[in-house]
Amino acid sequence: MTANESSNQIQLPDNFVFGVATAAYQIEGAASEDGRTASIWDTFSHTPGKVLNGDTGDVACDHYHRVSSDLDLIQQLNVGAYRFSFSWSRLFPTAGGQVNQAGLDFYDRLIDGCLERNLQPFATLYHWDLPQYLYDNGGWESKETALAFANYAKFIADHFGDRLHTVVTFNEPWCSSILSYLFGVHAPGLKDLPKTLSVIHGQHIAHGLAIQAMRASKSDLPLGIVLNAQAVYPIGAQTNGAAVRHHDFHNGLFFEPLFHGRYPEQAVKALAPLLPKTFMDDLPTIAQPLDFWGLNYYTPTWVTDAASADELYPATAEVQRDDVTRTDIGWEVKADCLTELLKRLYADYSLPPCYITENGAAYNHELVEGGVDDLPRQEYLEQHIKAVAAAISEGIDVKGYFAWSLMDNFEWAEGYSQRFGLVHVDYSTQQRTVKRSGHWYADLCQSHRGLSPLSP
Ligand code: GCO
């Protein structure tokens, strides 16, 4: 089957948006150029033992210097939208300081470059790169950081608001709290439950204040948040309780306060002594009405009860199933879980319309005779886009889909070892090569646009 034949079978609404996604620390490089200062990811990646092979984002894809040709590349993929994140410490390199003009110029070039190429800019304020000076001053546990975030958000809305298609506050706050402060995998690499709960709450407050600040600045700018909801399943019938607790902790601590202005009852009961003192008082600030939300989905989560009865809530353990298809990073491929997840979330919570803001696969195919034959990624994308179409046909309001990622990049604790790109990057030369999956995606976007032009 050719790309066009297979893509034509996917039925999507007329104004459905296709895009590609990236994040600042993963692609920009130029880590200490033009006034940018360190974020917690610079510190973490420069700490021996934290990132595979000692890799850092110092150079990454050198996107800071190649923004114009990278935008040309995005245009060649025929997408209608580009999702990127701002580097907070490039724009505001010092505590309480002025905006950094060179940083501002860079994002002006990026956003204007999108508009010149008919790419709708979808911006993220926080993709995990907290300025180090804010971390040193108490980080997300401190209200000062939430206030600084609201000021930063207001600046973005004031300066860029009339050129952005949407803005999200946080990308995957689960990662910048639980993965970073409880599991110790991401910056700052701690394993501390009370701190984790304070950070979750602090980020929620920052989100609420930022939404208020941006609304006041530009009331017609569509605002949202991106969550990596887990598609949780019990590994056997007897572990249903574990699945409920896991969902409550890993999804409920985010969805319930953000969309319903409350924390999950069971989690609160179990964790009460560890929760921040003001957690009830802050809920009205946190639960701001949103225009949309973003779902990042890669793989399902199978759980059972934790081995030890002494474990703290949710006392669950993840289980890897045998005999399933996995990507090179080890994540199980199961597209129907995406349809089920969307249906479950819309059944459980009152949610605005959604974009799939990330979906994709790590496959480490290399360049052979000038091409990259990554058929498994193409198949992964096709299955998951069909899963989105299935959810839409069942009434779920999904407005668009962003492939993760435009190009191979710095995959956090995995360094450069895992390649998620539609475009291959040779890190020694910075040469970009569109992979087979990238050509397929470009055909899909083209045929979809051919049938129905994107709305402005
Ligand atoms: C995330 C992040 C991305 C990752 C991607 C692959 O979802 O973890 O938003 O920055 O690179 O998801 O892990």
Measure 95 CA to ligand 1 centroid, in angstroms: 28
Cβ of 441 less than 6 Å from ligand 1: no
Amino acid 3: pLDDT:
45
The first and second tokens of residue 40, run together, are: 């917690």
Q: Cis before residue 300, ω within 30 degrees of 0?
A: no
Q: For residues 177-190, give the mean pLDDT.
A: 98
Query: What CA–CA distance (Å, rounded) separates 127 from 25?
Result: 8
Residue 212 has pLDDT above 70, yes or no: yes
Amino acid 450: pLDDT:
61
Indicate the residue type of 187: A
CB of 103 closer than 8 Å to CB of 145? no
Measure 97 CA to ligand 1 centroid, in angstroms: 30
pLDDT tens, position by position, 97-107: 899 999 999 99
Amino acid 6: pLDDT:
52
Q: Map tokens 């066009």 to a residue.
A: 4
Q: Cis before residue 188, ω within 30 degrees of 0?
A: yes
Cβ of 358 less than 6 Å from ligand 1: yes
Q: For residues 433-442, give the mean pLDDT.
A: 98
Query: What CA–CA distance (Å, rounded) separates 286 from 289?
Result: 9
Q: For residues 206-225, give the mean pLDDT.
A: 98
Is 340 among the catalytic positions? no
Beta pairing class for 300-305 and 231-234: parallel
Measure 359 CA to ligand 1 centroid, in angstroms: 9
Domain extent listing, the chain: 3-449
Q: Note the maximum CA span of the chain.
A: 61
Share of the chain above pLDDT 90, in %: 93
Is 172 among the catalytic positions? yes
Residue 123 has pLDDT above 50, yes or no: yes
CB of 363 closer than 8 Å to CB of 422? no
Cβ of 84 less than 6 Å from ligand 1: no
Give me the catalytic one of 172, 256, 382, 411.
172
pLDDT tens, position by position, 132-180: 999 999 999 999 999 999 999 999 999 999 999 999 999 999 999 999 9
Cβ of 411 less than 6 Å from ligand 1: yes
Amino acid 5: pLDDT:
47
pLDDT tens, position by position, 381-429: 999 999 999 999 999 999 999 999 999 999 999 999 999 999 999 999 9
Torsion angles phi and psi, residue 26, rounded to 5: -80, -20
CB of 140 closer than 8 Å to CB of 195? no
pLDDT tens, position by position, 294-347: 999 999 999 999 998 789 999 999 999 999 999 999 999 999 999 999 999 999
Residue 367: DSSP 8-state: P
Ligand 1 atom, smallest distance to 23 CA: 10
Amino acid 184: pLDDT:
97
Residue 452 has pLDDT above 80, yes or no: no
Reading across the β-sheet that carries 316-319, which strands appear in turn? 231-234, 300-305, 316-319
Q: What is the DSSP code string of 216-274?
A: HH-TTS-EEEEE---EEEESSGGGHHHHHHHHIIIIIHHHIIIIISS--HHHHHHHGGG
Reduce the DSSP state of residue 336 to 3 states and report it. helix
Residue of 241, 284, 246 lying closest to 262 (CA atoms): 284
Amino acid 451: pLDDT:
53
Residue 252 has pLDDT above 50, yes or no: yes
Measure 350 CA to ligand 1 centroid, in angstroms: 25
Across the chain, what does the average pLDDT equal? 95
Residue 293 has pLDDT above 80, yes or no: yes
Cβ of 256 less than 6 Å from ligand 1: no
Measure 9 CA to ligand 1 centroid, in angstroms: 28
Cβ of 124 less than 6 Å from ligand 1: no
Q: What is the pTM of this model?
A: 0.96
Q: Best substitution site from 404, 409, 422 to test ligand 1's pocket, by max atoms within 8 Å of Cβ? A: 404
Options 3.20.20.80, 3.40.50.880, 1.10.150.530, 3.50.50.60; CATH for 3-449 is 3.20.20.80
